[in-house]
Amino acid sequence: MKVSLISLFTGLLLSVSAQVPNWTQYTCDGNSYSMYKELSKGKAVVINFSSLWCAGSTAGAQSTETLWQNSMTENVKVFGFIHEDQDFNTADCDDASMWESAHGISYPTFINIDNVLQTYINKYTQSGATTLPWFLLFLPDAEYPEASQLVYSGHDMNTLYHILNDQWLQSAELIGATLSNKELVKILDHMGRETEFKANTPLIYVYSDGTTEKVFTIGH
């Protein structure tokens, strides 16, 4: 019986470089995302590597969605990387669609992620293997995204959530409170989609300095 262990041995030694590996991935609906691009925006990045056959990945997907819903307005970006389907085959877009629908996932998810997973295992594990789900949390260096800091690598979303709140969201809130001369760049709905102003609707204002604000305006 196959256990929830991804063994990707390449014969390479664990890199001692401080540089965060970059990646560019496309969702099944064609949207493109890049690790360095998100970090250069000053956003903390959460990555969830999962496989559909792994029971722990189901719980991990749901807890990751909860984290995303609670922090999407706080300069945090969440990504899901789906490795294999229920039959241990490489996941495809049908698998991703089913996975997102079954667990109410609204954060971007990617398939065909073997190269990214292998790169990150080589970089951030000593043994060349990891169990899934595998959560990674990076705090950004906006000027030099490759120098951003990995602050959590593990399998406990609760621990990641506490680190995110204690180390990132509090500091981001303090920084945001001191910034001025910011301009409104766009308005998002509660799902993170760009929209126009609407009264009696929860909205997220995104400003030119990267800060965000939750807004609810009562009107007729």
Give the residue extent of every domain in the chain. 5-178, 184-215
Q: What is the mean pLDDT of residues 190-197?
A: 80
Cα four-point dihedral sign 108, 47, 158, 176: negative
Do residues 33 and 108 make contact, with C-beta atoms less than 8 angstroms apart? yes
What is the rounded average pLDDT for all residues in the chain? Answer: 82
| Whole-number Å distance between alpha carbons of 96 and 158 | 24
Q: Tens digit of pLDDT for each residue in 153-187?
A: 999 998 998 888 877 766 655 444 444 456 778 88
Domain boundaries 5-178, corresponding CATH code: 3.40.30.10
The answer on pLDDT for 103 being more than 50 is yes
Is the whole model's pTM more than 0.75, yes or no?
A: no
| Out of 9-23, 51-65, 72-86, 176-190, least confident range | 9-23
Q: pLDDT > 70: what percent of the chain?
A: 82
